Each structure stands twice: as C-alpha cells, then as structure tokens.
C-alpha cells in the first residue's frame, strides 16, 4: 500500500496548526493517488497527538523516537524520515513550508534523490500524477508543474490549505524506534530563543498591521503596535522601514521578506512597491491607509482611506475598541 507521508510539525511539545493543514491537504489527494495518509511525528512525545490529529483524516499516526531526536537537527530528522520513507512505500512526502520544513524538506529530497516542489499553494492529482501550483517571483507569477518521478517531496505554504475535519475512524499513535548514525548528526541546535512568544509569526498570522515610510519615524510604530494589539494582529513593515532600521528584519513583508496570507492586512503609510505587493496580495481583505490617492496599494486594497496614517491609525484603534465593546 502506498502512503502519503506527512511530517506533522511540533514545537515546544505542541502540535503546530500547519500539521493539520498538511494532513487535510494529503487527504485531498489520497484517493487520486490510491494511497493512505501516514502522519509522522518526530521528537519529544506529544500527549494528545491522536485526539488532536485524528479529526483531519490520517489513516495512521506514527511517533518516531530516538534519544538523538529530542532536539531538532536537520541531519537527525533527515535520517529518521529516510528510514520511514524506505519502509513505507511513499506516494508523496509532505512538509509545511515553515522554518523547519524549509530546512528539512530539501535535505530529505536530496537524500532520497526525489524532486522537491516547495511552498505549494495547490495540490491536485490528474491521471495518477501530482500536479502543483507554486507562486514564484514572490507571487508575481504562478508555476503549474507535474511530478514526473515515482514520487516527490512537497512543502505547503502555511495558511493556504484549510484544516478540514472529516468523519474518520479513531487512530492510535504507533511508536517506531529508528536507528540513527549519530556521527552524521553534525549540526546541532544548542539553544532556542523564543523572542515574541505572545504574537503569531507573520507567515501564520490571521491579522497583520503593517507600517511603511508614511509612519515617519520608528517611535510612531507604537501606533501600529496599539492597533495590532487591539485586533490580535502581528506587526509587519515595508522594506523602507527595515532599511531605515525602524523595525527588525524579521518584520519585513515582501519579496525580500516574508510572504503572508492573513485574513486581514492593514497597510499603514505603505505606498505599495511591486516587491511589497508581491508579498501580501494574497491576503483576503486588505485595508490601505495612505496620503497619496494614486498610491499603487489602493489598486489592490479592498478598502482604502486617503489620509495621513499618523492621524488615522489611532482613531481606527479607538473605533475598533469601541466596536468590540458594543
């Protein structure tokens, strides 16, 4: 029996939401490939893995264990996955295109000599072959491609595939001990620093409030932070802001920053350079606040207000606070 092997990502002892997205995406192509869905968890054991993941339709769940897998390492996890892949007849191997997935998927693909289609936003099966869509040039164009090899490694862009609960049978988690060559685990994570545990990362955020050059100065980002706090959003920024050192690099949205797909994206004082639009135009609802009525951002915004972001943002924050209490 063929298996779609899904790497179910965990972090700090918890299953990440992307794992559910990946299982649902796998379920969507399982029938076409005539394959079962096998969810694989690596690392410290997760207490409620079966209860949390079973609704998303895996046929089997497997916890892969080895003392060297307690902490993430590219080479350790690659070896563990290679062992599973070699014994479970893959129809596809699926990752989430997260920091971990982007580090791991290429290593696994190269080890198994199979192609990697990274950061996919659509998966289908036609005549038994996997067809994918992946944005390239930061989404300025889309690539439609088909897998020609027996199977392929796929990584899925977060927030694109909806986690869909299905009526399935209960599954329990099988434990698989693997043998690793520890001399080949040469790069090791020695420390993890979680700096913004309170907020969700830009790539996984439902709400984003971004500021641009129109915010005028670093200290004015307190206005952006206030609005973000009010709606539970993550703060983003345009490249101009990063280049001016008003915000850290990790906040940048756009072609040389992060590509985001939130439900709501509020662009404050951002004119909308091509490279910025590329990174955020797949947001569901876009609000633009900008002084220049001809700014490109208004061409893709769902709603726009023409005016000074410095004056409008605090008024918007208050209005939303008010609306929430009503």
- Of residues 98 through 157, those in contact with another protein by CB under 8 A are 98-100, 102-103, 105-107, 109-111, 113-119, 131, 134-149, 152
Count interface residues toward another protein (CB under 8 A). 99
Residue entry with tokens 């909806």: 162
CA dihedral for 261, 266, 270, 271, sign (positive or negative): positive
Shortest Å distance, C-beta 96 to another protein: 11
Token reading at 221: 């980002």
Taking a C-beta distance cutoff of 8 angstroms, is the pair 273, 255 a contact? no
Stretch of residues binding another protein (CB under 8 A), selected from 26-34, 50-58, 167-175, 198-206? 198-206
Q: Which is nearer to another protein, 2 or 133 (CB)?
A: 133
Shortest Å distance, C-beta 191 to another protein: 4
Q: Which is nearer to another protein, 35 or 100 (CB)?
A: 100
Please return the burial class of 153, using the count of CB atoms within 10 Å of its CB with bins 0-12, 13-18 and 19+. Answer: buried
Stretch of residues binding another protein (CB under 8 A), selected from 25-33, 53-61, 95-103, 210-218? 95-103
Torsional class of 139: left (φ above 0), alpha (ψ -120 to 50), beta (otherwise):
left
Q: Which is nearer to another protein, 1 or 320 (CB)?
A: 320
Shortest Å distance, C-beta 226 to another protein: 14
For residues 70 and 25, what is the distance between their CA atoms, to the nearest angstrom? 27
Q: Which is nearer to another protein, 88 or 204 (CB)?
A: 204
Token reading at 123: 């998966």
Helix (H) or strand (E) holding 210: strand 207-211
CA-closest candidate to residue 107, choices 121, 120, 93: 93
Shortest Å distance, C-beta 81 to another protein: 12
Contacts of 217 (CB under 8 A, 6+ apart): 246
CA-closest candidate to residue 130, choices 154, 110, 114: 154
Stretch of residues binding another protein (CB under 8 A), selected from 37-45, 83-91, 96-104, 211-219? 96-104
For residues 298 and 131, what is the distance between their CA atoms, to the nearest angstrom? 34
Shortest Å distance, C-beta 10 to another protein: 13
Which residues in the 257-276 window bind another protein by CB under 8 A?
A: 257, 263-264, 273-275
Q: What single DSSP character describes residue 41?
A: E
Residue entry with tokens 């198994």: 112
Shortest Å distance, C-beta 210 to another protein: 16
Which residues in the 290-319 window bind another protein by CB under 8 A?
A: 293, 298-308, 311-312, 315-316, 319
Which residues in the 202-241 window bind another protein by CB under 8 A?
A: 203-204, 207, 231
Which residues in the 19-78 window bind another protein by CB under 8 A?
A: 72, 74-75, 78
Which residues in the 153-182 window bind another protein by CB under 8 A?
A: none
Q: Which is nearer to another protein, 2 or 50 (CB)?
A: 2
- How many other CB atoms sit within 10 Å of the CB of residue 142? 12
Using rule CB under 8 A, residue 197 touches another protein? yes
């Amino acid at each position: 029996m063929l298996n779609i092997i899904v790497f179910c990502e965990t972090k700090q002892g918890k299953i990440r939401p992307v794992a559910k997205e990946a299982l649902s995406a796998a379920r969507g192509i399982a029938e076409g490939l005539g394959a079962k869905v096998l969810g694989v968890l690596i690392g410290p054991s997760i207490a409620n893995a079966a209860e949390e993941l079973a609704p998303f339709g895996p046929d089997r769940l497997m916890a892969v264990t080895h003392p060297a897998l307690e902490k993430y390492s590219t080479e350790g996890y690659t070896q563990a996955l290679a062992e599973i892949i070699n014994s479970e007849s893959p129809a596809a191997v699926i990752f989430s295109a997260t920091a971990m997935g982007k580090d791991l998927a290429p290593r696994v693909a190269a080890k198994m000599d199979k192609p990697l289609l990274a950061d996919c936003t659509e998966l289908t099966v036609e005549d038994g072959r996997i067809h994918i869509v992946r944005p390239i040039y930061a989404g300025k164009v889309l690539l439609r491609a088909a897998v020609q090899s027996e199977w392929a490694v796929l990584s899925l862009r977060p927030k694109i595939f909806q986690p869909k609960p299905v009526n399935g049978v209960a599954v329990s988690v099988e434990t698989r001990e693997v043998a690793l060559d520890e001399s080949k685990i040469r790069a090791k994570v020695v420390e993890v620093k979680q700096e913004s545990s309170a907020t969700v990362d830009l790539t996984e955020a439902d709400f984003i409030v971004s500021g641009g050059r129109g915010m005028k100065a670093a200290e004015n980002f307190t206005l952006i932070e206030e609005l973000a706090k009010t709606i539970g959003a993550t703060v983003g920024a345009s490249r101009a802001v990063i280049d001016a050192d008003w915000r850290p690099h990790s906040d940048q949205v756009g072609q040389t920053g992060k590509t985001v797909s939130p439900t709501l994206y509020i662009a404050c004082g951002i004119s909308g350079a091509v490279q910025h639009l590329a990174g955020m135009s797949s947001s569901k609802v876009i609000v633009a606040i900008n002084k220049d009525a001809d700014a490109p951002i208004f061409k893709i915004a769902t709603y726009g207000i023409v005016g000074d972001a410095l004056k409008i943002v605090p008024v918007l924050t208050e209005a939303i606070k008010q609306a929430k209490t009503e």
